[in-house]
Amino acid sequence: MAAPDTPEPDAPAISLHDFTDIDHSAESTYEAALVAFDALPLLQELKVLARDRTHTGPGRRVLDVGCGFGLETLRLARLVAPDGAVTGIDLSTDFIAEARRRAAEAGLDVDFVPGDAQQLPFPDDTFDVTRAERVLIYLDAPARALAELVRVTRPGGRIAIIEPDFDTNTVNVGDAALVRAVLAHEADTAVVNPRLVRDLRGELLDRGLTDVEVDSRMVVFSADLAAQYFGGIGEAAATAGAIDAADGHRWTATVDALHRDDRLFGAIGYYLFTATVPPATSPAS
Ligand SMILES: C[S@@+](CC[C@H](N)C(=O)[O-])C[C@H]1O[C@@H](n2cnc3c(N)ncnc32)[C@H](O)[C@@H]1O
């Protein structure tokens, strides 16, 4: 279970909608959202499992695709030292600048480059390990990104992908019909590919990858993150007309009251996919 934390009723709302809008990626709410998700103990379990299953250790050449400002990338850099190398790539130049600042502050040598997951600027077979976490859900062409991950990973190298299924969002607001309406609106609008995980195992197999393993965690939110995230999505549903305004206010008041009483519960399902790149990979799509 995630450790409960002290409620902070006035914390700003967190939205997961805009991680493709790179002009806003360095704003504090986006940074705060990434830090808050990164800290969730059950998501941390999947990150550790991803490192273990990809044999991320000394000497490895590792690529972190959609690295944000490098929260996990810097951990990987410590793991591959002294003779390994870690590269992080992200579409947001603001996040890349912040990642470089954090690496310098930590005294870590990481190559952070701006770029698109769907068109990676690396030659074939460059890396031993390639990973992407909470990135494919935002992409217009996730299959293209998958092909790129495979292309830049050497034969026998390992791939790890961590993504949520937005239809597994759970929150303890009492009105089940209202919960269904708000969570359905969130799943249908938050990201480009809210249910992508369901086909990912098949996509990996279709590309000829082997040793395909799937794991999952129902990731329980911290109290503050639950309030910031679930608090905002009722208002978004009301603004879009998916529920009426009165229900939107009722939703927000209910989430706030649960949070104030330290009784708010929220969670979402995350999946980890790991696989090995075969000697001769399928052609990129
Ligand atoms: C939810 S964040 C996850 C960041 C990081 N993987 C983490 O776990 O902290 C999604 C990231 O994907 C990046 N992103 C979105 N579209 C991208 C693309 N086409 N190519 C590379 N990165 C992209 C965003 O800038 C953002 O940093």
Q: Which of 51, 91, 149 to mutate to test the pocket of ligand 1 (most atoms within 8 A of CB)?
A: 91
Residue 254 beta carbon below 6 angstroms from any ligand 1 atom: no
Q: Which of 142, 128, 163, 154 is nearest to 47 (CA)?
A: 163
Q: Does pLDDT of 69 surpass 70?
A: yes
pLDDT value of residue 26: 52
Mean pLDDT (the chain, rounded): 91
Higher pLDDT, 103 or 4: 103
Q: Does pLDDT of 282 surpass 70?
A: no
Q: Which of 22, 90, 122, 196 to mutate to test the pocket of ligand 1 (most atoms within 8 A of CB)?
A: 90
- Give pLDDT tens digits for 9-22: 455 566 665 555 55
What fold characterizes domain 22-166+192-220+270-276?
Answer: Rossmann fold (3.40.50)
Contact 161, 53 (CB under 8 A): no
The domain segmentation of the chain, as residue ranges, is 22-166+192-220+270-276
Q: Which residue has the tokens 């009105």?
A: 175
- Give pLDDT tens digits for 100-113: 999 999 999 999 99
**Phi/psi at 267 (nearest 5 deg)?**
-160, 160
> Which residue type, as a one-letter code, is found at position 170?
T
pLDDT value of residue 3: 37
Q: Pick the residue whose CA is nearest to atom 25 on ligand 1.
A: 92
pLDDT value of residue 20: 56
